[in-house]
A = this chain, B = another copy of it.
Amino acid sequence: MIYKTEVKDARFPLEGNAGSDAIHRDPVYSYAVTQLLDSGGLVGTGFAFTLGEGNELVCQAAHYYAKKLVGLDIEDLMADFGTFYKSLSDDQQFRWLGPHKGVVHLALASVTNACYDLWAKKRGVPLWKLLTDLSPEAIVNTLDLSYLEDELTKEQAISILTEQEAGKSDRESILKTGYPGYDTSVGWFNYSDEKVRENCHKALSEGFTAMKLKVGSADPERDIRRAHIVREVAGDNAKVMLDANQQWNLPNAISICKKLSSMNPYWIEEPTHPDDVLAHQTLAKEIAPVKLALGEHVPNKVIFKNYLQANAAAFIQVDAVRVGGVSEFLTISLLCKKFGIPVVPHVGDMGQLHQHLVLYNHMGMGHEALFLEHIPHLQKHFVHPARIRNGVYETPQEPGSSCDLIKF
């Protein structure tokens, strides 16, 4: 039984312009951390990610949700978590502050993730194993599919998962090979050209074959120059992604993306405002065959549904520490599966939680094991930091979701 909940405000200043992008020049990577103390002696840990300022607001909102968990048994709770999740996200008064977005939704992510972590710890298995061993019905019982009925009913969700049961054991080979990673940290926005070049060489020497550059400069020529530097160092076979972090409006995005197409980007990420489904739809048509990726700022399943319906993105970057936690992440992954679009999460969690989720997405849901973003900056703060060797995430073996932080 969960007898107590604690919420903590954890902030980790970064060094040397790490984490900077076109919009967020000075981030302090921060977590609003929920801990569920279980009478069996276990502690479930989950968090949401912010850039510092206002992290305390997410903590306060998480406390409001977390206190509703006191007295509950984790197995009972998770047997019908979808209903509980909906009751929290549609809380009569609190709902007005969203709904399903912003501070309250980040808080819900923190609390939800702590529930899944405790559940896996209780069963003594890594989260990827817990999820993979669940029946299709048991997975779907942890989801809230409301407002998706036009695209994904409960029956359809169970059917998608059931269809994937057959190939599951084959896909379990990923556990041995490990899940491929890509290096996000070669080209933070404030890094000099020289540092970008140096970091690309380093990424290649570490075994990465995919890497990302931040673009979205006031001067498009800077973007183009730097993109070609990365391509030159990485070679024609590497996957190079460009990330504008919402910096462009639609007319600018069309013009600059066309220019950037000459260096053959694997995708162009967050070209414009994350709420602008129709701008992304127009842009995707205009710049095809160049592909768009987005999702790190998309708050919920409803907007993801619109992006998928609009055929506006070739890669969906849902982040389980931005949407309402593991539950909504899985819901959105199911939607993507239905639409045939790969899930390549943004990792506000630095990949700790998502290394479990992409393994499940591949084994249980039949998603392609494309690659997972790798950001190394907070490694020293985790009890079980993700292990990347030769550009590949090694399969985590510790019980839970690898989200425990060293005392902070």
Q: Which residues of chain A have a CB within 8 Å of any CB of chain B? A: 23-28, 50-54, 56-58, 60-61, 64, 90-106, 146-150, 246, 249-252, 272-279, 282, 297, 299-300, 302-303, 305-306, 309-310
Contact = CB atoms under 8 A, between A and B. Distances in A.
26 contacts: A24-B93, A24-B95, A26-B93, A27-B93, A27-B96, A50-B96, A50-B97, A51-B96, A53-B93, A53-B94, A54-B93, A54-B104, A56-B60, A57-B97, A98-B101, A99-B274, A100-B275, A101-B102, A102-B103, A103-B104, A149-B250, A149-B252, A150-B251, A277-B306, A278-B306, A278-B310
Nearest 5 Cβ contacts at the A-B interface: A102-B102, A53-B93, A103-B103, A150-B250, A51-B96
A92 B24 contact: yes
A252 to B, nearest CB: 8
B276 A147 contact: yes
A149 B104 CA distance: 30
B97 A106 contact: yes
A29 to B, nearest CB: 10
Contacts of A299: 101
B273 A57 contact: no
Which of A50, A146, A275, A303 has the most C-beta atoms of chain B within 10 angstroms of its own C-beta? A275
B147 A273 contact: yes
Nearest to A299: B101
A28 B93 contact: yes
A97 B93 contact: no
Contacts of A98: 101-102
Contacts of A250: 149-150
A57 B50 CA distance: 16
A303 B299 CA distance: 13
A24 B300 CA distance: 20
A252 B99 CA distance: 20
Contacts of A50: 93, 96-97
Contacts of A279: 147, 150
A97 B103 contact: yes
Contacts of A272: 147
B104 A101 contact: no
A172 B101 CA distance: 40
Contacts of A147: 249, 272-273, 276, 279
Contacts of A57: 57, 60-61, 97, 103
A275 to B, nearest CB: 4
A150 B253 CA distance: 11
Given A56-B60, A149-B249, 20 more contacts: A23-B95, A24-B95, A51-B95, A54-B93, A54-B97, A57-B60, A57-B103, A61-B103, A97-B106, A98-B101, A99-B273, A99-B274, A101-B101, A101-B275, A103-B104, A147-B272, A147-B273, A275-B300, A278-B306, A278-B309
Contacts of A64: 53-54
A52 B252 CA distance: 42
A300 B96 CA distance: 15
Contacts of A56: 60
A295 to B, nearest CB: 14
Contacts of A94: 53-54
A309 B278 CA distance: 8
A279 B56 CA distance: 35
B276 A305 contact: yes
Contacts of A106: 97
Nearest to A50: B96
A129 B56 CA distance: 40
